[in-house]
Structures are given as C-alpha cells and as structure tokens.
Amino acid sequence: MAIKTTVITGATSGIGKETALSLARQGHSLYLLVRNMQKGDELKTYLINETGNKEVHVIKCDLADLQTVRDAAVELSGKLFAINTLINNAGGIFAERELSKDGFELTFTINHLGHFLLTNMLMPLLQKGQARIINVSSEAHKRGTPQFDDLQCERSYNSWKVYGMNKLFNIYFTQSLASKFANKGVLAFSLHPGVVNTHFWDDFKGLGKLMTTLIRPFMISAQQGAATTVFLATAPRLDKYNGGYFKKKKIAKTSAIATDTAARDKLWAISEKLSL
C-alpha cells in the first residue's frame, strides 16, 4: 500500500494530537503544521517513539499570522509532489475580542481564514494527490449566522456567537471546495468531533468557566473526539458524501442556513479578497 501523505494543523494537543497518533500508527507520512516549534518537536519525538513511524515532519505555521501560512505552503510545495489528506483541525474560541497579526478578528482568522489560505495555496498538491480535505467544524454552527456586515465584530462581540459563525463558515468552505474541485479528484468533508475534554475550554472565565466545569465530566476523551476525523481520512468509498457534514462517523444534518449557497459564495469571495 502506498504511503499516504497527510498535512494537519493544530496537532500539538487535544483531538489533533490523537488524530496524528492514529494516522502515524497507520503508516501515514505526517506533516505537522504548528505554531510552537518546541511543542511540535516534542510531538514528533512522541509519535516516533509511540509508533515507530519516522515519517513525521514539523513545519512552522501560525494561523494567526498569514505570512507564516504562506511560508508553510511554499515549504510544503518545495518538499512534496502530492498531498493525500489535509486536515484543517486547528481552532479556538476567545472570551474577548482579539486581533490577528494581520488585523483580522482572531476567531475568524484561526478557524477559517488561515485554513482558506493554506488550502488554496496547497491545491496543486492536493489535486495531484487526489486528496481529501477534512475541516473540523462543530454542532455550534447551528447557533451561527453569517454577519457579513460586521465580519470583524467591531460593533459587538459575543464569543459563542462568533465561534458558531466561524464553525458555519467551515461548512460553507467545505461545500465550496466540493463544488469547485470534485472534477479535479479532490473531496471535502466537515465534521463535529463531539464535546471533547481538552484545553480548548481553558480561556473561559466567570460564568463560562463555571459552565464548562459543570459539564466537563460528561465530555468525551480526545481519542474519542478524533474518531470521526480519522474515519474520514482513512475510510474507503466516501465519494458519494463529498461536501458532507459528519458526526460520530456518519453523515449528519446541518442547520438550514448552512445550505445557503449565496452566503457560501459570498464567504469565498470575501476570503479571497482578504487572503489571496
């Protein structure tokens, strides 16, 4: 069996780390795109020691700094002939409004715009690899609406509403990729990993922190949270589900607004203008 070349963001902790571990065990050649190179190197050592798979590589990529995303894409293009799987796993929710290095609202940049730029820059390699693109979304998308008139949240900021909007954007992005590149052999999927007990929740304060403390005993493990991503990266014959949204390794329904093709197309046009 040919070695699969897989690129993954946000792999140094949580479900990203468990996804990388599972795929390393299955013999994938992994390219870990990380913000913190020390943590990336530590993860590389851990994966090699745990699995015996030495095809683990670390590349600097901070989704909050679009120039590092461009640099990572250029580096990958210089190293690889093709990519078989791209897992846009990194994400975050922030209690207060923050800006990225490029001056964009941070939730939007990390959850959507950085991955939009990365995926489009890697598209030649993805086409050569007849790749699957896997975007980690969330059931939180069902609380999201596209506020194109205040995309940077300058008028108001609510962390959960902004997060929900950007998880909705993950689904729009997936559907656009499926529509634009299916005839080039590229498939795209989005997914809900579950409510996972990771450091994702650490930024919350006050009432938000109290709520996460109360529900934490009912959260699933990072290993369980990675299961659907791993499934989408490895399961055969998923072509008929191209553009689909998955939960618990099965196709699932999105919110009604997630099927809005006009909003989907508008997001793509805005994202191109801001990043490409």
Q: Catalytic site residues?
A: 157
- Find all residues with CB under 8 Å of 182, minimum gap 6, and list them: 242
The gap from C-alpha 232 to its chain's centroid, in whole angstroms, comes to: 13
Q: Which amino acid is at 129?
A: G
Q: Between the CA of residue 259 and those of 18, 69, 176, 195, what are the distances in Å?
A: 31, 29, 11, 24
- Rounded distance, CA 250 to CA 244, Å? 10
Contacts of 240 (CB under 8 A, 6+ apart): none
| Beta-sheet strand order (sheet of 5-9) | 56-60, 29-34, 5-9, 85-88, 132-136, 187-192, 245-247, 250-251
Number of H helices, E strands in the chain: 11, 8
Inter-residue contact 129 to 187 (CB < 8 Å): no
Instruction: Give the 3-state secondary structure of residue 16.
Output: helix
